[in-house]
A and B are shown apart, each in its own frame.
Chain A
Amino acid sequence: KQEVTQIPAALSVPEGENLVLNCSFTDSAIYNLQWFRQDPGKGLTSLLLIQSSQREQTSGRLNASLDKSSGRSTLYIAASQPGDSATYLCAVLNSGGSNYKLTFGKGTLLTVNP
């Protein structure tokens, strides 16, 4: 059974700081890994998707890495801004036999203070 853990559960940083969010998973037989952002009471916004054959993906100030063999991923946010405050969720896609399903971590609640 796939399990996804995110560390830390919460993080508070001053504006402008670079930061790293961590995600680990127990079953390395994944198809891809995805990082989402979730604002309070809202749905999921996909930030980055890394295929199992890739090592990293970048979008603007965000960079996500994947080490499938060790079951780890990191999301790096450069020059953080108050608008980055949200919950960040990591999810891995596995095959469940005849279907594909995402397994999520519990998320990291990020607060960026002005």
Chain B
Amino acid sequence: DAGVIQSPRHEVTEMGQEVTLRCKPISGHDYLFWYRQTMMRGLELLIYFNNNVPIDDSGMPEDRFSAKMPNASFSTLKIQPSEPRDSAVYFCASSSSVNYGYTFGSGTRLTVV
């Protein structure tokens, strides 16, 4: 398995633009997580899905953030409109209910200018 795949690896965008981050989990994993990492706040859980259904989105900072998982092999995290304070590394991870250990993707480094 190629692991958890995220795209793009880097994204630089202007304030006000829409940003879409993508994630392909490991095949067979039924849990998918979106995390954000910043120096000030560390690793924060934004949202997680089980069998494509959002279970807990209490970490999503505000309405500008949305996440979807239309099928078991794809998820998106969208920010619209983006702001400079959204600059961070966004990680996707997947796990299974059989073996709980997380596998993280390589992350997307987002810079909003």
Partners in one complex: no
Which residues of B pack against A, CB within 8 Å? none
Which residues of A pack against B, CB within 8 Å? none
